[in-house]
Homo-oligomer: A and B are copies of this chain.
Amino acid sequence: MTSIFLYDTTLRDGAQREDISLSVEDKLTIAHRLAEFGMHYIECGWPGSNPKDADFFARANRMHLPARLAAFGRTRHANATCAADANLRALIDAGTPAVTLVGKTWDYHVSHVLSTTPEENLAMIGDSVAWMKGRGREVIYDAEHFYDGFVANPEYAMATLRAAAEAGADWLVLCETNGGKLPWEMEAITREVASRLPGARLGVHCHNDSGCAVANSLAGVRSGAAMVQGTVNGYGERVGNADLVTILANLQLKMGHPVLAADRLHELTSLSRFVAEVVNLQHDAHQPYTGHSAFAHKGGIHVAAILKSPDTYQHIDPDLVGNQMRSVTSELSGRGNIQLQARRLGLDVDNEQAQRVLAQIKHLEHEGFTFEAAEASVELMFHRLDPDYRQPFELLDYFVITERRHGRGLLAEATVKVKVGEVVKFTAAEGNGPVNALATALQEALVDVYPVLRAVRLTDYKVRILSGAAGTAANTRVLIDFQGGLETWTTVGANANIIDASWRALSDSMEYALIRLGSQESAP
């Protein structure tokens, strides 16, 4: 059976989704997780399209991730040389082992968008691929609009692929750019290309405009493609890209392709939800395989049958992808999950402890907390189970004001009163916002006793309102990322009041920092 390679473009094509805007830190976090998960290729961006990219590529290359990083760009300009092309030079400067070049397939686009001749377009493809190969890169050639182009003019579409192949492209990726094709059309055309280009390594890149991106990608694999391009959760422009999460599960569990080791597949739900948290989108509860509701049974006859035999109304065992069966009336235990997570943190947790943490998580999730991306908050729960564990400080009061006065501008101030051991610390701070003022006042209150906290700083802050119906009166969830030394961690807080939710995440983070960095307590 052909080996299938997964090519993730969440960081480039996925970020074209209109409500996604990624910082360099976000991109590094996602790239790290994708590589750890086992993604074969990670497309990281279009160098030169914005100034943040140079910084990203420099830092990503230094991470030495166990995945091939790819930089994305287009073929050279018409009637110009590769050497003079700033875009191609930026691709080399990105320093990635792989480079993905997109070129035109459809003669209509060549004349209407590029405004050049069919012959020049072929030269642009061939020259650009050859130039990149000459610089030691693995070259993935993305044939834009391949399927529409093939329908319009199959001979010209094939000529563009041949131009890339003859110049040494390692992969020819057939892109269903407009997303409107149906699976049997995909399959017939891909099969035709495979038969006309024996030996070529083909890939497919699909969009979901007809609601068939998953099926279209699988049809591509059935008819000869060995690379599937897509994004985590199908994020992308318009309706989205093909969802690599669903595709991977189908390839491995339904079609028998051993794409990744089975224990990696077990991380699929966690990966899918993690990426949603980082891009700050609600994870789709109804996503195939990984959604919170994907194995939730509400119908009376279903639940009764499921209790007799779980396979009566489930297409797979949810444990295979790290998800859980739920019935809407009775939540089923995920103690195994908790123990797995504890083990991953290097902690030894028995059944009874796991049960207590699970009960606490379920209670807090009901209040709006989420722990998918807030492992520090979970780790704190484990530590607090230890009878020898001593809470390093205790909140007495806080008070935060924000005001804007005509002619006097904006101010934010906070006071914090905490008890550290037997000492009460009362501090005040101003900030350029209420959470900043609160964080500064808290840090001030603690650094005398715990000087290690001086090095801790907040690096990211995300907020989501949970119930779409009740507005600002609804529950607010805050995720805060911190950094101290080389460590980074995330904590979560939830409350109808955003300041109080932030307080919870802030104080958890300070407590976590003391565990992680060592409390190095000085005499109070």
Please give the residue numbers on chain A whose beta carbons come within 8 Å of chain B beta carbons, in ascending order: 16-19, 21, 23-26, 49, 74, 108-109, 112-113, 177-180, 182-184, 208-212, 214-216, 218-219, 222, 234, 237-240, 243, 246-247, 249-250, 254-255, 280, 282, 285-289, 291, 293-302, 304-305, 308-309, 312-316, 328, 370, 372-373, 395-406, 410, 412, 417, 431-436, 439, 457-469, 471-473, 476, 495-500, 503
Q: Which residue of B lies closest to A482 (CB)?
A: B471
Shortest 4 CB-CB contacts between residues of A and residues of B: A180-B315, A25-B468, A215-B215, A458-B471
What does DSSP make chain A's interface, helix, strand, loop or mixed? mixed
Known contacts A112-B305, A211-B215, A237-B296; 9 further A-B pairs (Cβ under 8 A): A18-B373, A21-B370, A49-B300, A211-B246, A239-B291, A399-B405, A412-B499, A434-B499, A463-B464
- Chain B residues lying within 8 Å of A255, measured Cβ to Cβ, are 182
A412: nearest chain-B partner, CB-CB? B497
Determine the chain B residues whose CB is within 8 A of the CB of A410 once the complex forms.
Answer: 495, 497, 500
Find out whether the CB atom of A401 lies under 8 angstroms from the CB atom of B404.
no
| Of the residues B312, B405, B434, contact of A112 by C-beta under 8 Å | B312
Bound-state CA distance A289–B222 (Å) is: 27
Given the contacts A308-B113, A410-B497, A464-B462, A178 and B313 also touching, CB distance less than 8 Å: yes
User: Which of A214, A288, A305 is the most central at the interface, judged by chain B CB atoms within 10 Å of its CB?
Assistant: A288
**B436 in contact with A473 (CB, 8 Å):** yes
A296 cross-chain contacts in B, Cβ below 8 A:
18, 237-238
A243 to B212 Cα, complex, angstroms: 11
Most buried by B among A109, A177, A302, A499: A499
CA distance A401 to B182 in the complex (A): 56
A211 with B214: CB separation less than 8 A: yes
The complex places the Cα of A287 from the Cα of B209 at a distance, in Å, of 8
Q: Which residues of B contact A288 (CB under 8 A)?
A: 208-211, 239
Known contacts A112-B312, A399-B403; A461 and B471 CB within 8 A of each other: yes
Q: Is A180 a contact partner of B23 (Cβ separation < 8 A)?
A: no
Q: Which residue of B lies closest to A216 (CB)?
A: B215
Q: Does the CB pair A183–B219 fall under 8 Å? A: yes
From B25, B285, B469, contact of A280 by CB (8 A): B469
Cβ distance A238 to chain B, nearest Cβ, rounded Å:
6
Known A-B contacts A209-B315, A465-B461, A497-B410; the reply to A432 vs B179 at CB < 8 A is no
